[in-house]
């Protein structure tokens, strides 16, 4: 049997080696137009960025190694010019000598791939306008950089464009990305793509969305002017065109093979073309999309590989079928990883396939385990039977694992009911006991069964009318950071007691930051007779969808990098998984231990820490040596000469005074959160506990002290210490109070006990009002250790020193 293969990279080389493993006696000849065989085209951008430093490691095989191991005849620099299917011959041109000859086959396998698109626009022929497909392309780009290129414009925000932007940036070039659409990475829905926009901007990539390149001109300095549709001109040294690929079908077309509607070579499930002796695989062929049930083109290496194996099997007489593809893909964009599988909403809309979506924003592993970082997962499923239709995952860590589970679910035609039951590996460094995949299953099942129906940010625009009531159940402080227009804020913990404020004649859409509290609110509402939906993904998804970054030049990154002295003590502080003010408190603790000249390196996962640490450094006169925003926030701070003493010592304007009058749990928590935040910011704090506020400081359990009958009665009626306090509202026989404690735990907010302890440990002054102690019969022995006693003068003395006085 004589087999000719056209193309010696992903599909061609894979098919050839599989054929050899089945048919030792087959005569296999591979013609390759280029100079290299079996190279890692997916690694090309990373060699440009010197992430893969060794060029040779991209070249997986050579014609000689293929000959010696597999006994192939490999002809590089040989282009197959035409096919004669009737005679089963091909005409080949030796590109080195221009000699042409004919060769015969029993079977022909085409794997010619796809070509980068070079649009026919003004100036396209200018030097330094590159595409990237193979090793010579890569070498040309590297040589342009080495000639001193300082600026690059990447046209196209797909996989290759994004990888190129990152790698050119690694090489120190100032990079602009121009994308015709309103988003990069169209495998993602716009809400999910906005995280990518942010990552690009955070890494100083200038992003021009909705801008078309209309031409190029050379300027007088010899640079290229990129002309955009808005009239803007970008001056650059190099241009990378990454606006897509077109399948190499001319050879097949001229041989009379059928070309499919999507423009790729038409093949059946055996990878056979319209001619039974000619097979085709890879980027050049049409594939059946398993979700939409139609043919399309998906130029990905994994697909080419699988198809090649199927084609080889069939040529060698082993019946084999290729069922179709999902387009599962993943790409790294600086620190962010973006992955998707199946159909996205654009494709489903085009095909008029109904769908629903659920979005969650979990940590990739247990929040309390160091290095926790947030990811965003979107699941798309059919509204009735809950069949999984697609998924998108964006985040920093563990993204590949999540997408691969979801891709496997899709391949196995799983439903959202199945996702609930997947038993996935868990230990704190890897995931959560309730894996996000299970959570997605629960949420989607709750949605389609009507237990807690969801609404997504795309449908929300149809609900901004009088028939709907948008209920924001976040705490008022969170609302300060932004809200959905015309929404009504009623914090979850007050919902039960304020149900009368919610209109019964409207459909309620509840939302919180990420979706969980919105869901809890929705359940309260539904059980009280309301018609309620929860906004999938909460305000975070709303923001991602509607607060798309501007498409003009923006510098988001405020990365500050300065030389670090080498010979100083460095303290490492891990504050990952802690919510504000947890990271600041940890930092404060480290600052108080460190000596002048020493360095503190802190890592936190709370995104707010990026800004907080800058204010912290300013207010404590610390030197911010380095600040990085990636999957976590990393900062290095130096304790500068005499600054520490200055900043940690008492200073009048640094004084904060809080009068704690109430013994309501929520008010006490608020008081101590403010106190800890203030301490962390280097302020001095005095808390004056009077009347009911004294109960916050009481020890738990019975303390043997002498009391008269009235004092005893008072003592019995009042709560003994922080654990016995209840909410000012919505206590609900302990349910509401329990829920707040649970929420604090799940959001890694310290308990009241811990907050009190850290206030004392961090130097906060807690003063028990002696007058109130006498009136209420509370004795010194009943109070926690470290509490001072004092009168109103002590309070007023401290209050006079500062400018912040609070009464809680
Ligand atoms: P190719 O691998 O392109 O091989 C086709 C070969 O055929 C070429 O070498 C060509 O010279 C030769 N040829 C064409 N016509 C003739 C002819 N008439 N005669 C002789 N020879 C001919 N995919 C992923 O899944 N993940 C990634 O991360 C990824 N990254 C990529 C990064 C880059 C920079 C590029 C360019 C592609 C990337 N891809 C990635 C896509 C992936 O490489 C392709 O999907 C895959 O290589 C397709 O395999 P193929 O065999 O169809 O074509």
3-state SS, 250-266, equals HHHHHCCCCECCCCCEC
Distance 301 CA to ligand 1 centre (A): 8
| Nearest atom, ligand 1, residue 8 CA | 6
The rounded Cα 518 to chain-centroid distance in angstroms is 22
Q: How many Å apart are CA 588 and CA 604, to the nearest integer? A: 14
Instruction: Give nearest CA residue, ligand 1 atom 41.
Output: 300
Alpha helices in 499-637 (DSSP H): 516-527, 538-546, 582-593, 609-619
Q: Quick count: other Cβ atoms within 10 Å of Cβ 231?
A: 7
CB 669 within 8 A of CB 755: yes
Q: How many Å apart are CA 349 and CA 292, to the nearest integer? A: 10
Q: How many Å apart are CA 589 and CA 593, to the nearest integer? A: 7
CB 791 within 8 A of CB 689: no
> What six digits make up the tokens of 660?
């704690």
Pairing of strands 468-472, 488-489: parallel
Q: What percent of the chain has pLDDT over 70?
A: 95
Find, among 487, 378, 489, the residue nearest to 443 by Cα: 378
pLDDT bin (cut points 50, 70, 90) of residue 557 is very low
Give the model confidence (pLDDT) of 312-334 as tens digits: 999 999 999 999 999 999 999 99
CB 226 within 8 A of CB 233: yes
CB 211 within 8 A of CB 229: yes
Which DSSP category does 186 fall into?
T
| Nearest atom, ligand 1, residue 34 CA | 11
Q: How many Å apart are CA 352 and CA 107, to the nearest integer? A: 40
| Nearest atom, ligand 1, residue 36 CA | 9
Predicted pLDDT at 436: 97
Task: Report whether residue 132 contacts ligand 1, using a CB cutoff of 6 Å.
Answer: yes
Distance 6 CA to ligand 1 centre (A): 12
pLDDT bin (cut points 50, 70, 90) of residue 649 is very low
Pairing of strands 174-179, 245-247: unpaired
Average pLDDT of the residues in 181-202: 95
Distances (CA, A) of 558 to 159, 245, 610: 26, 36, 10
Mutate to test the pocket of ligand 1, among 4, 5, 10 (most ligand atoms within 8 A of CB): 10
CB 616 within 8 A of CB 627: no
Q: How many Å apart are CA 745 and CA 135, to the nearest integer? A: 54
Q: How many Å apart are CA 753 and CA 755, to the nearest integer? A: 5
Active site residue 42: yes
Predicted pLDDT at 736: 79
CB 58 within 8 A of CB 43: yes
Alpha helices in 147-282 (DSSP H): 159-170, 190-202, 250-254
**Which carries the bigger pLDDT value, residue 289 or residue 564?**
289
Distance 160 CA to ligand 1 centre (A): 13
Q: What percent of the chain has pLDDT over 90?
A: 67
Find, among 525, 512, 553, 584, the residue nearest to 204 by Cα: 553
| Sheet bearing 27-32, strands edge to edge | 73-76, 27-32, 2-6, 107-110, 278-280
pLDDT bin (cut points 50, 70, 90) of residue 305 is very high
| Nearest atom, ligand 1, residue 282 CA | 52
Those residues whose C-beta lies under 8 Å from the C-beta of residue 399, and which sit 6 or more positions away, are 330, 337, 338, 339, 364, 375, 393
Task: Report whether residue 300 contacts ligand 1, using a CB cutoff of 6 Å.
Answer: yes
CB 240 within 8 A of CB 161: yes
Q: How many Å apart are CA 184 and CA 196, to the nearest integer? A: 8
Alpha helices in 216-374 (DSSP H): 250-254, 301-315, 345-350
Written as one string, the DSSP assignment of 80-91 is: EEEEETTTTEEE
Average pLDDT of the residues in 238-248: 98
CB 641 within 8 A of CB 596: yes
> What six digits make up the tokens of 380?
């798309």
Task: Say yes or no to pLDDT of 563 above 70.
Answer: no
Q: How many Å apart are CA 500 and CA 656, to the nearest integer? A: 38
Q: How many Å apart are CA 579 and CA 743, to the nearest integer? A: 12
Q: Which residue has the tokens 């002309």?
A: 227
pLDDT bin (cut points 50, 70, 90) of residue 583 is confident
Q: Which residue has the tokens 């408190």?
A: 585
**Which carries the bigger pLDDT value, residue 700 or residue 688?**
688
Instruction: Give nearest CA residue, ligand 1 atom 28.
Output: 42
Give the model confidence (pLDDT) of 723-756 as tens digits: 889 888 887 777 778 777 777 776 677 788 889 9
pTM (two decimals): 0.73
Task: Report whether residue 727 contacts ligand 1, using a CB cutoff of 6 Å.
Answer: no
Predicted pLDDT at 58: 95
Find, among 157, 155, 153, the residue nearest to 188 by Cα: 157
Helix (H, G, I), strand (E, B) or coil at 790: strand
Task: Report whether residue 7 contacts ligand 1, using a CB cutoff of 6 Å.
Answer: yes
Distances (CA, A) of 631 to 363, 527, 553, 603, 784: 11, 39, 24, 10, 40
Across-strand partners of 491?
Answer: none
Predicted pLDDT at 773: 86
| Nearest atom, ligand 1, residue 44 CA | 34
Task: Say yes or no to pLDDT of 617 above 50.
Answer: yes
Across-strand partners of 535?
Answer: 455
Average pLDDT of the residues in 542-568: 47
Mutate to test the pocket of ligand 1, among 82, 248, 279, 301 (most ligand atoms within 8 A of CB): 301
Task: Say yes or no to pLDDT of 457 above 80.
Answer: yes
Predicted pLDDT at 529: 97
Find, among 622, 649, 650, the residue nearest to 637 by Cα: 622
pLDDT bin (cut points 50, 70, 90) of residue 225 is very high
Predicted pLDDT at 750: 79
Task: Report whether residue 398 contacts ligand 1, using a CB cutoff of 6 Å.
Answer: no
Instruction: Give nearest CA residue, ligand 1 atom 3.
Output: 113
Average pLDDT of the residues in 26-47: 96
Find, among 322, 360, 324, the residue nearest to 341 by Cα: 324
Q: How many Å apart are CA 808 and CA 333, to the nearest integer? A: 47
Q: Quick count: other Cβ atoms within 10 Å of Cβ 461?
A: 10
**Half-sphere exposure at residue 84, Cβ-oriented, CA atoms within 13 angstroms:** 11
Instruction: Give nearest CA residue, ligand 1 atom 50.
Output: 113
Helix (H, G, I), strand (E, B) or coil at 767: strand
Give the model confidence (pLDDT) of 370-384 as tens digits: 888 999 999 999 999
CB 348 within 8 A of CB 313: no
Task: Say yes or no to pLDDT of 551 above 60.
Answer: no
Distances (CA, A) of 544 to 66, 196, 313, 358, 439: 49, 10, 46, 14, 21
Those residues whose C-beta lies under 8 Å from the C-beta of residue 797, and which sit 6 or more positions away, are none
Q: How many Å apart are CA 275 and CA 86, to the nearest integer? A: 10
Those residues whose C-beta lies under 8 Å from the C-beta of residue 756, and which sit 6 or more positions away, are 672, 696, 697, 722, 766, 784
> What six digits make up the tokens of 144?
């342009």
Q: How many Å apart are CA 482 and CA 484, to the nearest integer? A: 7
Peptide bond preceding 175 in cis form (omega within 30 of 0): no
CB 244 within 8 A of CB 117: yes
Those residues whose C-beta lies under 8 Å from the C-beta of residue 315, and which sit 6 or more positions away, are 3, 15, 19, 107, 109, 279
Helix (H, G, I), strand (E, B) or coil at 440: helix
Those residues whose C-beta lies under 8 Å from the C-beta of residue 357, and which sit 6 or more positions away, are 345, 378, 379, 380, 381, 454, 456, 458, 536
Predicted pLDDT at 42: 96
Predicted pLDDT at 645: 43
CB 598 within 8 A of CB 571: yes
Which DSSP category does 316 fall into?
T
Alpha helices in 620-719 (DSSP H): 643-648, 665-680, 709-717
> What six digits make up the tokens of 175?
């990079």
Give the model confidence (pLDDT) of 477-534 as tens digits: 788 778 898 899 999 999 999 999 999 999 999 999 999 999 999 999 999 999 999 9
Mutate to test the pocket of ligand 1, among 283, 327, 341 (most ligand atoms within 8 A of CB): 283
Task: Report whether residue 327 contacts ligand 1, using a CB cutoff of 6 Å.
Answer: no
Task: Report whether residue 12 contacts ligand 1, using a CB cutoff of 6 Å.
Answer: yes
Q: How many Å apart are CA 144 and CA 236, to the nearest integer? A: 12
Instruction: From the candidates 42, 463, 512, 803, give the one annotated as an active-site residue.
Output: 42
Give the model confidence (pLDDT) of 129-152 as tens digits: 999 999 999 999 999 999 999 999
Find, among 417, 87, 448, the residue nearest to 277 by Cα: 87
Q: How many Å apart are CA 115 and CA 137, to the nearest integer? A: 12
Across-strand partners of 489?
Answer: 472
Give the model confidence (pLDDT) of 660-692 as tens digits: 999 999 999 989 988 888 888 778 899 999 999
Predicted pLDDT at 640: 76
Question: Average pLDDT, whole number, for the chain?
Answer: 90
| Nearest atom, ligand 1, residue 113 CA | 53
């Amino acid at each position: 049997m004589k087999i000719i293969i056209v193309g010696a990279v992903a599909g061609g080389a894979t098919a050839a080696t599989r054929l050899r493993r089945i048919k030792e006696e087959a005569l296999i000849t591979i013609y390759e137009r280029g100079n290299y065989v079996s190279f890692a085209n997916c690694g090309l951008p990373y060699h440009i960025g010197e992430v893969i430093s060794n060029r040779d490691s991209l070249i997986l095989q050579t014609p000689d190694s293929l000959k010696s191991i597999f006994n192939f005849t490999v002809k590089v620099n040989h282009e197959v010019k035409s096919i004669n299917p009737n005679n089963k011959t091909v005409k080949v041109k030796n590109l080195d000598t221009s000699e042409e000859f004919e060769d015969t086959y029993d079977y022909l396998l085409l794997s010619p791939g796809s070509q980068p698109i070079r649009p026919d626009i003004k100036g396209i022929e200018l030097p330094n306008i590159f595409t990237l497909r193979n090793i010579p392309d890569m070498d040309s780009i590297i040589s342009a950089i080495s000639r001193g290129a300082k600026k690059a414009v990447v046209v196209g925000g797909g996989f290759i464009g994004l990888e190129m932007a990152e790698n050119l940036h690694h090489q120190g070039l100032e990079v602009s990305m121009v994308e015709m659409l309103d988003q990069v990475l169209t495998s993602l829905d716009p809400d999910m793509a906005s995280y990518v926009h942010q990552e690009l901007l955070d890494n100083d990539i200038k992003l021009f969305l909705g801008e078309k390149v209309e031409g190029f001109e050379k300027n007088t300095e010899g640079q290229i002017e990129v002309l955009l549709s808005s009239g803007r001109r970008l001056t650059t040294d190099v241009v990378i065109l990454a606006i897509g690929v077109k399948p190499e079908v001319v050879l097949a077309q001229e041989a009379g093979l059928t070309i499919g509607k999507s423009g790729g070579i038409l093949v059946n499930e055996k990878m056979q073309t319209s001619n039974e002796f000619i097979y085709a695989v890879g980027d050049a062929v049409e594939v059946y999309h398993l979700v939409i049930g139609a043919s399309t083109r998906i130029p990905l290496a994994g697909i080419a590989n699988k198809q090649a194996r199927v084609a080889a099997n069939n040529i060698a007489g082993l019946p084999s079928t290729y069922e179709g593809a999902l387009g599962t893909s993943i790409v790294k964009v600086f620190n962010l990883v973006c992955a998707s599988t199946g159909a996205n909403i654009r494709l489903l809309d085009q095909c008029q396939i109904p769908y629903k979506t659920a979005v969650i924003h979990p940590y990739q592993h247990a929040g309390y385990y160091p290095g926790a970082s947030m990811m965003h997962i979107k699941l798309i499923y059919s509204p009735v039977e809950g069949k999984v239709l697609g998924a998108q995952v964006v985040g920093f860590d563990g993204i590949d694992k999540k997408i691969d589970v979801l891709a496997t679910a899709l391949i196995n035609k799983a439903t959202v009911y199945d996702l609930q039951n997947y038993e996935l590996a868990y230990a704190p460094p890897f995931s959560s006991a309730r894996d996000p995949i299970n959570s997605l299953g629960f949420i989607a099942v709750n949605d389609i069964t009507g237990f807690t129906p969801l609404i997504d940010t795309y449908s929300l625009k149809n609900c901004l009318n009088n028939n709907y009531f948008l209920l924001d159940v976040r705490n008022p402080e969170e609302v300060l950071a932004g809200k959905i227009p015309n929404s009504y804020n009623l914090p979850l913990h007050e919902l039960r007691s304020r149900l009368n404020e919610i209109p019964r004649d409207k459909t309620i859409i509840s939302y919180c930051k990420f979706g969980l509290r919105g869901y809890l609110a929705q359940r309260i509402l539904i059980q009280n007779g309301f018609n309620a939906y929860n906004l999938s993904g909460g305000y975070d998804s709303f923001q991602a969808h509607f607060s798309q970054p501007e498409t003009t030049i923006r510098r988001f990154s405020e990365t500050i990098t300065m030389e670090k002295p080498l010979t100083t003590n460095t303290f490492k502080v891990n504050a990952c998984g802690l919510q504000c003010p947890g990271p600041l408190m940890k930092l404060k603790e480290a600052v108080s231990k460190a000596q002048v000249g020493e360095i503190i390196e802190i890592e936190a996962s709370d995104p707010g820490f990026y800004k907080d640490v800058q204010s912290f450094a300013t207010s404590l006169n610390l030197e911010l040596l380095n600040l990085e925003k990636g999957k976590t926030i990393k900062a290095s701070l130096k304790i500068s000469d005499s600054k520490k003493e200055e900043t940690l010592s008492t200073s009048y304007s640094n004084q904060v005074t809080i009068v704690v009058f109430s013994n309501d749990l929520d008010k006490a928590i608020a008081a101590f959160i403010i106190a800890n935040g203030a301490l962390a910011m280097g302020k001095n704090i005095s808390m004056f506990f009077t009347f009911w506020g004294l109960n916050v400081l009481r020890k738990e359990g019975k303390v043997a002290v002498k009391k008269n009958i009235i004092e005893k009665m008072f003592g019995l009626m009042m709560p003994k210490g922080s654990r016995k306090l209840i909410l000012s509202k919505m206590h609900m026989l302990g349910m509401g109070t329990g829920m707040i404690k649970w929420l604090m735990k799940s959001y890694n907010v310290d308990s009241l006990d811990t907050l009190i302890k850290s206030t004392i440990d961090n130097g906060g002054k807690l003063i028990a009002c002696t007058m109130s102690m006498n009136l209420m019969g509370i004795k010194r022995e009943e109070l926690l250790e470290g509490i001072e006693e004092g009168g109103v003068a002590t309070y007023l003395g401290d209050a006079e020193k500062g400018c912040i006085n609070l009464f809680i």
